[in-house]
């Protein structure tokens, strides 16, 4: 251990000169002097930045308009929306479970159609927010959900046909 320390000190060039006379007194004077000038601008800048952030957030949240959805129309419509959303999600999970090489194109086609209907639904949400609760918009939103379910049911029927055909072909060759 001592060899390592001696080696360290012998390799490095340290400043071994004595400080100028009066160094200790000058250092103590500088320590005792209050240095308010350096702290004050940072305090004011941090307060100003905080105020600007708070104002920015409050103005931003006031200008952002909340979008209405089918669930905002009435409690019954909320039930309808919850039913459709949960049923659609369950059907999509079933689709994904049945994904194979034989069903890939059918599933992808159905998901593309669903995506297009989702884009249309977003337009209906904007229209509902802009124009209020109009029956035609609400009816279009419900019809949109029904179309999605129809697409999913039709796709699952096609998948069942493909599976049955494959099972029949496998039974013939056994």
Using an 8 Å Cβ cutoff, are 150 and 88 in contact?
Answer: no
Say what percent of the chain tops pLDDT 70. 75
Domain boundary among 13, 46, 63: 63
Top-confidence residue, 94 or 33? 94
SS3 annotation, the chain: CHHHHHHHHHHCCCCCCCCCCCHHHHHHHHHHCCCHHHHHHHHHHHHHHHHHHHHHHHHHHHHCCCCCCHHHCCHHHHHHHHHHHHHHHHHHHHHHHCCCCCCHHHHHHHHHHHHHHHHHHHHHHHHHHHHCCCHHHHHHHHHHHHHHHHHHHHHHHHHHHHHHHHHHHHHHCC
74 and 45 together in one domain: no
45-62 tens-digit pLDDT? 666 666 677 766 666 655
- Any idea what the CATH number is for the domain that residue 107 is in? 1.20.120
* 6 found inside a domain: no
Please check whether residues 108 and 88 belong to one and the same domain. Answer: yes
Residue at 153 is within a domain: yes
More confident residue, 162 or 17: 162
Q: Is residue 108 part of a domain?
A: yes
Q: Please give the residue that has the higher pLDDT: either 89 or 38.
A: 89
Q: Is the pLDDT of residue 21 over 60?
A: yes
- Give a yes or no: residue 13 inside a domain: no
Classify residue 8: in a domain, yes or no: no
* Total domain count, the chain: 2
Rounded distance between C-alpha atoms, residue 111 and residue 98, angstroms: 14
Measure the CA–CA gap between 105 and 17, rounded to whole angstroms.
83
Is 76 in the same domain as 152? yes
**Taking 80 as the threshold, does the pLDDT of residue 40 lie above it?**
no
* 155 in the same domain as 86: yes
Task: Give yes or no: residues 104 and 141 share one domain.
Answer: yes
Assess whether 139 and 54 both reside in one domain: no
Do 115 and 150 share a structural domain?
yes
**Percent of the chain whose predicted confidence (pLDDT) is above 90:** 25
What tens digit of pLDDT does each residue of 78-132 get?
898 899 999 999 998 988 888 888 888 998 899 899 999 999 999 988 888 888 7
**Averaged pLDDT score across all residues of the chain:** 80
Q: Which domain holds residue 99?
A: 70-172
Residue ending a domain, choose from 32, 63, 94 = 63
């Amino acid at each position: 251990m001592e060899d390592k320390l001696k080696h360290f000190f012998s390799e490095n060039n340290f400043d071994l000169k004595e400080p100028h006379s009066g160094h200790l007194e000058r250092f103590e004077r500088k320590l005792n002097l209050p240095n308010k000038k350096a702290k004050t601008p940072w305090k004011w800048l941090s307060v100003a930045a905080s105020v600007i952030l708070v104002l920015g957030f409050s103005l931003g949240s006031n200008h952002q308009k909340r979008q209405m959805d089918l669930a905002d129309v009435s409690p019954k419509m909320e039930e309808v929306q919850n039913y459709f959303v949960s049923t659609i999600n369950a059907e999509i999970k079933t689709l994904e479970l049945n994904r194979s090489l034989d069903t890939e194109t059918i599933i992808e086609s159905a998901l593309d159609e669903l995506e297009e209907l989702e884009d249309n639904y977003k337009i209906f949400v904007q229209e509902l927010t802009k124009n209020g609760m109009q029956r035609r918009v609400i009816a279009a939103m419900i019809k949109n959900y029904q179309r999605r379910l129809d697409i999913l049911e039709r796709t699952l029927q096609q998948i069942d046909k493909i599976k049955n055909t494959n099972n029949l072909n496998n039974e013939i060759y056994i």
